Structure formats: structure tokens, C-alpha cells
Amino acid sequence: MKPVIFGLSGLTVTADERRFFVEAEPLGFILFKRNIENRAQLLALTDQLRGMTGRDDLPILIDQEGGRVARMGPPEWPAFPAGPAFEALYDVAPISAIEAVRVHAEATGVMLAEVGINVDCWPMLDIAQPNTAEIITIRALGREPMRVAAMGRAILDGLARAGVVGVVKHMPGHGRALVDSHLELPRVTADEAALEVDLEPFRRLADAPMGMTTHIVFDVWDAARPATLSPIVVEQVIRGKIGFDGLLMTDDIDMKALSGTAGEKAAAAIAAGCDVVLDCWGRMDEMVEIVERLDDIAAVSRARLDRAMAGVTARRSDVAFAELVAKRDALLALV
């Protein structure tokens, strides 16, 4: 098995993709809007991926947060709110906000599990600052570490009740970035004392099954390399200061914050201590290069994967999807 999660080109696995994936044995797959048409098609696609790999516990990922970051949406699925809606409720009624985001996450998980998706790249634990880039503020759970951690825990719990694994992101924190790492490389100049605020939610959720890095340079830790490619940040900050021992994946290595070829970036991320590379766009030439550059998954990374996916179980709640959504909406109406 290669330590990489690949995207797909379209609504089905093509013949060329099938030949490549069977030989390469990637750790898992991630889906985007280009891969999604309706329930029947999406379930057929996830069944196709599992049949192709012969792995019932195959990680099939998606970014389904609500708001602007939602790969599954109308008209096939309802539109869901994003993090700021729950932060607003927290200002009024903290306990209600935690319960609202928990049932929101459970409803999301039910929606994903119905079509064979078992990993959601969520919750986002980045602490919003006054000048944080919009790519974060439109999604953030808040500006105070304890409330972000509390709501992040509720999201993990809600997803788990639906049989879906959550991924905490973006370690060690994207909230101080002034630019969007999809488009350029952010640099953070804050000192260690200030960055303790950013680390706190991740530290509180250090037992999360999966986590995702951020493509940001933190001058105080490693002024030469972004976190994803920095052994210092991965080992001393994410594994050390935060204490995270779950499966650590990169953010999408195709983002413009990173430079180099796909294979170079993938190899550098694994060398830095990441367990798995996330490559989202399904470009065959880039996927081939990545596989050629990567060794098989390390034993410690495979153990983290197995531990994370052992948490994927049958749904533990008998509450219907519509009831979960109605309860969430009633709580959000308190604002």
C-alpha cells in the first residue's frame, strides 16, 4: 500500500484509473463535486472503489463542512450551515451550540454513510483572528480556543455516531494566515507564546483519529519550510507540543503554497513525518510520479490507519436524518 490518497477524474473509475489504482494500491480516495451527481451514482462509485481494492475499510474521504465547503449539496442534498452559525449560537447559549453542532455533524455523517463515504475532513479547529484570510473566517468555529475545542469534539462525536471518521485540521493552525494557501504561501511571524492559542484546540483533541497539516511557514519553528514539509513542525510541534498520534495527512499538495513537482512534494512530506499524502486532482501523470517516488507505507503509519478505521462502525443512533436536521435548526433559531 502506498501512503497516498488520490482524487478521481469523474463520476466513475475509468479503465486507466482502475489499472493504475489496482497496481499502485493507494491508501484511500477523496471525492469532489466533479465525482458527484446523485445518490445512486455516488453509492455506485464508492462500491466500485471498494470492489476494486477488496477493502471494506477503504478510507473514502470528502470535505463536507457546510456552507461554502460542501461537495454534496442541492438539489440532491440539503444545504447545511457553516461554523460561524454555531459560533453565533455559542455567544447566546453555549450548551445549545454544542448540541446543535453535534446533531449537525451526526446528520452530516448519516448523509455521507448512506452513500459509502466514511471519512469527513472536518472539524476545522483554526482560531480566527481579526485579519484572518476569508478562506478560514467563513468556516471557523470561533475565536476562542476552548469553544472551538468543545465544538470540535462535538463534531467528532456526531460523525462517529453515524459511523464516519473525522479529520481535525489544519495543524498546527491556519488562523494567522493573511492569505489563502490554495493560492500562495502564507508566512506567520507570531512568537511561540501567541501560537499557544492556535495549538490549544488541537491539543484538546489530540486523540482524534486523523489530522491534516497546513501549508504555512511559521518563522519561529522553521523559517525555511512550510509545516507540511517541515520535520521540525511535524515531529516537535504536531507530534510533540500538540501530542497528536493519529494518522497525519497533508493538505492537498497541489495547492499553490507548495512548490516543486507532485512527486517532489509528496516525498518531502513523507520525509518530514507525515503519514500520508493527499493529492486531489486525479491527474494521471502526477499520480504516477507520486507512486514512483514513494515507498510502501511505514509500519507505524499503517498502525495509525488501522486504529483510525477501526472506529468506523455501523451507525449507533436510530435518530432519523430529518429529525437531526430539525433539532439543529430549532437550536440555531435561538439566536
- Active-site option among 180, 182, 245, 254: 182
Question: At 212, is the secondary structure helix, strand, or coil?
Answer: strand
**Do strands 69-70 and 64-66 pair parallel, antiparallel, or not at all (unpaired)?**
antiparallel
Question: Helix, strand, coil shares of the chain as percentages rounded to 5?
Answer: 45, 15, 40
- Active-site option among 251, 252, 275, 279: 251
Write the burial class of residue 33 (CB in 10 Å: 0-12 exposed, 13-18 middle, 19+ buried).
exposed
> Which of 248, 135, 238 lies closest to 186, judged by CA?
135
Residue 14: partners with Cβ closer than 8 Å, 6 or more residues away: none
Question: At 239, is the secondary structure helix, strand, or coil?
Answer: helix
Q: For residue 179, how many other CB atoms are within 10 A of its CB?
A: 14
C-alpha–C-alpha distance, residues 112 and 120, integer Å: 8
The residue assigned the cell 477488496 is 54
C-alpha–C-alpha distance, residues 110 and 3, integer Å: 28
Q: Is 104 a catalytic residue?
A: no
Taking phi over 0 as left and psi of -120 to 50 as alpha, with beta for the rest, 190 belongs to beta
SS3 annotation, 82-124: CHHHHHHHHHHCHHHHHHHHHHHHHHHHHHHHCCCCCEECCCE
What are the φ and ψ backbone dihedral angles of 292, each rounded to 5 degrees?
-65, -30
Q: Which residue type, as a one-letter code, is found at position 237?
A: V
Q: For residue 285, how many other CB atoms are within 10 A of its CB?
A: 9
C-alpha–C-alpha distance, residues 123 and 153, integer Å: 8
Q: Is 182 a catalytic residue?
A: yes
Catalytic residues: 182, 251
